[in-house]
Structure 1
Amino acid sequence: MANPKDILVITTSSAEGLKIKKHLKPVSAHIVAGTNLFSDFLGGLTDVFGGRSSSYQKQLSSLYNEAIERIKYNTHEIGGNCVIGLSIDMDEISGKGKSMFMLTAIGTAVIIEKDEKSNQLSNTNEKFENVGVERINNLRQRKEIIEKAENSKLIYDDETWSFITSNQVHEIFPFILKRFTNVIEEFQSIQETYNTFNKNFISYVDALEDSKKTNLLYDKIASETNHQVALYLAKVIKELNLFDFEKNMSLLNNPDFKKQKIGIRISTYDKSFYDKKDIENLNQTKVFVSTTFKERGEITTKKQLLSSKEKDVWNCECGNKSNDIGEYCGTCNNDIFGFKQTEMKPNEIVKYIEQKIELINEYIK
């Protein structure tokens, strides 16, 4: 199974249409959270209606979802594609006047046969005979948020970020970037504002389905005219371990050299998990980088001052001529390959990929 998030998780030991081929071993996840996580609930019950607190429920749901995601990743790592008998418990740990919540999730990792019946168990797109008012109100709020984002009227406060993250409102992805382009460009002078945005945006993207967030990030990099925004999206890919071979090869083949340079940077980023196919893909990336990124400047000669001897120099594509071999252009600060001093060079990328392949090979059968 290529995607840990596709792993089926059920609370029972069996289900109709579920054919277990092999039981692997128990898997667990432990999450410890300070009571300050529920500060909105404990500090004041302003959002309580009918004996329930919406903020408290959201925090609990977030913890439960995180535990299930960790269970899925642990199962994927040992080769399973399903977790049966899931059980989640929450305990309070107290001591020295402080208290914390510990959430423990445990289940059994198994391998199940993939057939239509088992796939239906995880189908979330089915139609219902009845629909609750909460679902209707949620859809109404979603449509209002999308409309406001399209018209540049959406206020990105904590409540908005919470809603678009928990409800995976992928439709407003481009409008978020448009709204916060200035924050991305001026991040050094408005560090606090940038940090707040970055934290919210990372959480928002991470909550999306894997295929959705991968498509959104890579496709936007390819089409984005603002280089700073494109570089920021590459940082998001790095943060979330979203390296995708096919998508990145599209960037490496982009006719825009700036896009190619982003692609070569992403070539060093990681995935959450690797398998034999990834080794093959990494080798292809290594060969492509080593054979594609050649010298962009022209090597020529010039006479030395007060001497009849000539020496090799290179003319930069920016128009600056007679740069010393091995030196950076005095005008655009690029080397003969088109890379700045602060950027990883193609030969460094190749060595990095080779090292990664060696490390993966130590674990892959």
Structure 2
Amino acid sequence: MNQFTTTTTNSIEGWDIKEYLQPVSSNVVVGANIFSDFAASITDFFGGRSDGYERRLNEIYDQALKALINKARSIGANAIVGVKIDFGEVSGKGNQMFMVSVVGTPVKAVKRGDKAGGGESSSYEVYDGELVERKVRAKNIIERFDSDKPAISKIPENTVNFIVESRLPELCNLVMGLLSVWSMEPASSSKQLALPKYFDNLDTDSAINGLYSYLEKHDIDSDALRRFLKIASDNNLIDYEKLKPLLYNNHLNGRKFALELLRRGKASYSAKEIELLRKYSDDLVGLFQPLGTTDQVKGMFSSTAKEVWVCVCGTKNNQSVKYCGNCYKDNYGFYEAEVKPETVANLIRKRLDVISTL
């Protein structure tokens, strides 16, 4: 299989499929008038057939198939099985468009009996030159811009667009760093608004690994927390196993991130996830301890001291006051609008009760 193979069947004769990857698709949309132009020429028809019409259809199909192959190669596949082609018409607001859609399942396949079937490199493999160049460019971007506090203002817009559309997991750490210091940058720009779309194009496993790994290693601020929660929610990046190191570390906002995702439901729950939820529901409240201290303060006209709680920001607050008068957080580091551990623990228990009845 020196050339990239595509087939409408679910197998490739003489080859063993070692791994099925996420399905890919491509669409080519063109104006319907290109075909009416052919029909207008009577000399183009022979026996009821239009050579020009068929030639144009083949060109569009080849274009869609080439885009499909490029997508598959970019994720490490060397073949596509189960290819399906669909022709259709898209219309609206007085316009008519013609669309060719191609979909298939990328696979990693090895020749039957090949000793390299375990995944090692062998002579049959063909490496996608376009992917190589994209990865080389990514390495150059990382070497130039990646740091503890990268500045998006220093990155050209065309470079940001490349990062967003790259589908390369190695750029995830840089993207997370840029999103973390967003609030320190000048007023919002098109580059800042585009960055979260990087996760729309990244495969789910890579997005989860990159997002959770960064949060495990970095103590982020509240602005970055909200940004990452939106990314996780919009892209359904909820992994209960990956939440474990975030819940049991010393970064408050990392624990808040885990807490917020535990509040959200999932499409399905495995037996392993149910066990994790039981553990989390038991541990959640104890994981969040008071951050401040207590002190004795004497009144201006009284010799009697009264007890106050001292917020981590240094402000002394009456015991009857739940939220600090300076930073507006409680003694556990939560704003009033933020979800609390007790609330999430109770919600998890209710979910587990329902699951136990199914």
1:112 match:
none
2:194 match:
196
Partners of 2:219 and 2:254 within 8 A in 1: no
2:78 match:
none
Query: Please, which runs of 5 or more residues in structure 2 have no aligned partner?
Result: 1-5, 18-22, 32-55, 73-80, 105-111, 147-153
2:214 match:
220
CA distance change for structure 1 residues 172 and 297 in 2, over 3 Å: closer, same or farther?
Answer: closer
Q: Separation in 1 of the partners of 2:338 and 2:164?
A: 33
Q: How many positions carry a matched residue from both structures?
A: 297
Partners of 1:298 and 1:316 within 8 A in 2: yes
1:150-185: per-residue Cα shift (whole Å, max 9, x none)?
Answer: 113995546x56755665322222233445655454
| Greater Cα offset, 212-221 or 301-310 | 301-310
- Indicate whether 1:171 and 2:170 are aligned: yes
Q: Separation in 2 of the partners of 1:289 and 1:327?
A: 20
Structure 2 length as normaliser, TM-score?
0.61
Q: Separation in 2 of the partners of 1:104 and 1:359?
A: 42
Partners of 2:229 and 2:257 within 8 A in 1: yes
SS at match of 2:316: coil
Which structure has the larger Rg? 2
1:45 match:
none
Matches within 5 A, 1:35-114: 57=63, 61=67, 87-94=84-91, 97-100=94-97
Q: Separation in 1 of the partners of 2:139 and 2:24?
A: 35
Matches within 5 A, 1:1-365: 11-12=8-9, 57=63, 61=67, 87-94=84-91, 97-100=94-97, 127-129=122-124, 131=126, 135-152=128-145, 157=157, 168-179=167-178, 182-183=181-182, 185=184, 189-190=187-188, 192-199=190-197, 201-203=198-200, 206-208=201-203, 210-227=204-221, 228-229=223-224, 231-271=226-266, 273-297=268-292, 314-318=308-312, 319-325=314-320, 327-357=322-352
SS at match of 1:87: strand
What is the Cα deviation at residue 272 of structure 1?
5.3
Query: Please, which runs of 5 or more residues in structure 1 have no aligned partner?
Result: 1-8, 20-27, 37-50, 67-83, 108-116
**Which amino acid in structure 1 is aligned with residue 270 of structure 2?**
D
Q: Separation in 2 of the partners of 1:91 and 1:247?
A: 42
What is the Cα deviation at residue 251 of structure 1?
1.0
**Which amino acid in structure 2 is aligned with residue 267 of structure 1?**
L
Q: Separation in 2 of the partners of 1:260 and 1:202?
A: 21
C-alpha root-mean-square deviation of aligned residues, in Å?
Answer: 5.2
Structure 1 length as normaliser, TM-score?
0.60
CA distance change for structure 1 residues 157 and 186 in 2, over 3 Å: closer, same or farther?
Answer: closer
1:16-71: per-residue Cα shift (whole Å, max 9, x none)?
Answer: 6989xxxxxxxx999999869xxxxxxxxxxxxxx9999x95898479979xxxxx
Q: Separation in 2 of the partners of 1:215 and 1:142?
A: 19
What is the Cα deviation at residue 356 of structure 1?
4.1
Partners of 2:311 and 2:317 within 8 A in 1: no
